[in-house]
Structure 1
Amino acid sequence: MNQPLVYHNWSSGGGSGVLNFQSSLTGSFYGTYDLHVESPLSLTSNASYFSVSWKKNTTSQSWIFHHILKASPNYPWLTLYLRADTMSGISGGYPWDTCGMMQQMHRLSFLFCDFVPDMQVPVSPNFTVIITLDVIQIGGPQSQFDLIDIGGCWKNNGGTCDGDIDSDVTRYVEMIINPQTPSWCRPDSLDLCPPYHVSINGTKIYREDTTGFPFSAYHLYCSPPNAAYAESPAMACDPYSNPQAQEIVQLLPHPEWAIHGYPTKQGDGWVGDFCTWTLDVGGLSNCLYFYQVP
C-alpha cells in the first residue's frame, strides 16, 4: 500500500511566548491515499480523504480534536487513529519511534500550568481517561468507531517487547460503538470469543457456558498468530495489517462494562448522544483475557 499525500497546517496560536498554554492553539493535517488527485483536495471529491484538526480550549485547557475519514473505491478500508503514547522508542512493531507524548505533555504541563511535581504517566490498572465525544456523521453499517483504543506490547511469555517482530505481540482493546456493528462472538462461533469472560463480581465465565457467557458484550476476539498454545477453537488475528503479531479484543456496549464507565447499550455515544465519559481504562484492560504461554 502506498504512502498517502499529506498536507500539514502547522500549529499556531495567539499570546506571547513560544508555548503559551493560556493562548489559543490551532492546527491540522489532511490528505488522501488516491495519489492521482490534484490539489486542491477536498472532502467532496471522489477520492479517499482524511483530516484531523485541533484547537486548545482556553477555558478548560483541554484539547478539541475533529476527525474526518472517507473511503473510496480504491481504498475502501481505512483507519484513522489519534494516538497519545505513554512511552518512547519502539511501538508495536511500527518502523518509527514514538515520542512519549504523555510524558512530554506532563513535563510541559508542570512547566506551564503548575501541576503537581510527582504526577506520573498512568499505568494500568490505575488509568482513567475523561473524554467528551460528539459523533456528527457516519458512513453506514460498515463504519466502525472506537470510543477509545488501548494498545500495548508484550511477548507471549510476558517479557518486554524489544523490536523482534517474530516474538513481540501488539495487544489491542477496542470498544465499537456503532450500533449497527453485530456481535460475531456467538455460541456457534466460539473461535471469535475470548476463552473466558471476567464478570462484574470477578467470576470467570468460560465461553463453553453458552447460557452464562455474555456473547453480546464482544464483537470478536482473535489470538496472536505466534501463540503456540492458543486454546481451541481459535482464530488467529490478521497477520498483514500490523508489522508484527497482534491480539485484538473488540467489545460492544453492554451492562458488563458499566462498572468501568463504558457504554451499556447500543446507541450510547453515537450520533445525537453527545456525552462526556469517565472511562476506567486500566480497570477494564486489567480484567480482560490476553494470551500467555501456559
Structure 2
Amino acid sequence: MDIGSCWKNNGKPCDGDVTSDVTRYSEMIINPDTTPWCNPSNNLRLCPPYHTFANGTQVHRNNTRHFPYDAYHVYCSPGNGKYLEEPFNYCDAYSNPQPQEILQILPHPVWGEYGYPTRKGEGWIGDGRSWELDVGRLSQSLYFYQDPGTKPVERHWTSVDLGTEIYVSGNEVAEWTVSHFDIIVPDKY
C-alpha cells in the first residue's frame, strides 16, 4: 500500500510551485527479504525523528529502548526543509527532482492496530487473506516534516496505490494479484 499527497512544509496546500510543494509518500513494504535500514547504531538518519504509537504516545528515535526501529525501512526528508533535525537524509533527487518526503514502513506489531501486517511474510506469497486497513488513521500517526510553529496540516491523501515496485532489479519479474479492493470513506469526512 502506497499513499501519497502534497503539502508545503508550512502546512499549506500545494499550489504548483515546484520549489515549495512537497510530494509525500508512505509505503508499506511486505517483501520478507527487506531489512530495515533504520537502526540506532549507524543509520539513525534513515529513521523518522519520532514514532507515534496508536495511543498517541510519541517516542524520539534516540530512545533506543522504546523506538520501534524494525518498523521502519527508511525515511528521507524533503530537500527544501529548513529546520530538519540532525542527522537527516534527503530524498533521492534522481527519482524526483522536486522536493519529496518518503516514509517506508515494514510489517511490525506497532502497525497491527491499524490492520497492517505485523510479521515478516504476512501479506506475501502464500498468505492470501483479506486485509482491512485503516489507512487514514495510520497516516495521521506517521511522522512527516513540518516547519516549527506552523499550524499542523490537515492531511488529505490524494492517491492510494496498490502494487509492486522493484527497487533494485537484476531483471526480476513481479506478479501482483488483487481480487477485491474497496475504499471506505466515513460519513463524517
Q: TM bucket by the smaller chain? A: 0.7 to 0.9
Q: 1:157 aligns with which of 7, 10, 13?
A: 10
Q: Is the 8 A contact 2:9 2:146 kept in 1?
A: yes
Q: Which runs of 4+ in 1 moved over 6 A?
A: none
Contact 1:260 1:279 in 2 (8 A): yes
Q: Are the equivalent residues in 1 in contact too, given 2:114–2:135 (CA < 8 A)?
A: yes
The structure whose RCO (Cα within 8 Å, separation 6+) is larger is 2
Which one of 91, 110, 132 corresponds to residue 256 of structure 1? 110
Name 2:176's counterpart in structure 1.
none
Q: Does the CA contact (< 8 Å) of 1:165 and 1:243 recur in 2? A: no
RMSD (CA atoms): 0.8
Equivalent-residue separation in structure 2 for 1:252 and 1:199 (angstroms): 15
User: 99, 104, 126: which is aligned to 1:245?
Assistant: 99
- Asked if residue 184 in structure 1 is aligned to residue 37 in structure 2, the reply is yes
Cα distance in 1 for partners of 2:72, 2:50 equals 11
Aligned to 1:229: 83
TM score, norm. by length of structure 2 = 0.76
SS at match of 1:262: coil
Once residues 76 and 107 of structure 2 are traced to their aligned partners in structure 1, the CA distance between those partners, rounded to angstroms, is 19
- Using the TM superposition, give the Cα deviation of residue 243 of structure 1 relative to its aligned residue in structure 2, in angstroms: 4.4
- How far residue 242 of structure 1 moved from its aligned partner, in angstroms, is 1.8
Q: CA deviation at 1:201?
A: 2.1
The number of aligned residues is 147
- Taking the aligned partners of 1:200 and 1:153, their CA distance within structure 2 comes to 24
**Percent identical residues:** 63
Measured after TM superposition, the shift of residue 257 of structure 1 is: 0.4
Matched, 1:275 2:115: no
**Mapped pair 1:266 → 2:120:** yes
Higher Rg of the two aligned structures? 1
Deviation at 1:244, TM superposition (A): 1.5
Could you say which structure has the higher strand fraction? 1
* Conserved 8 A contact 2:50-2:60: yes
User: Structure 1 length normalisation: TM-score?
Assistant: 0.49
| TM-superposition CA deviations, 1:192-245 (whole Å, max 9, x none) | 000010113211010000111000000011100110111101001011212421
Separation in 2, partners of 1:250, 1:167: 22
| Structure 2 residue matching 1:152: 3-state secondary structure | strand
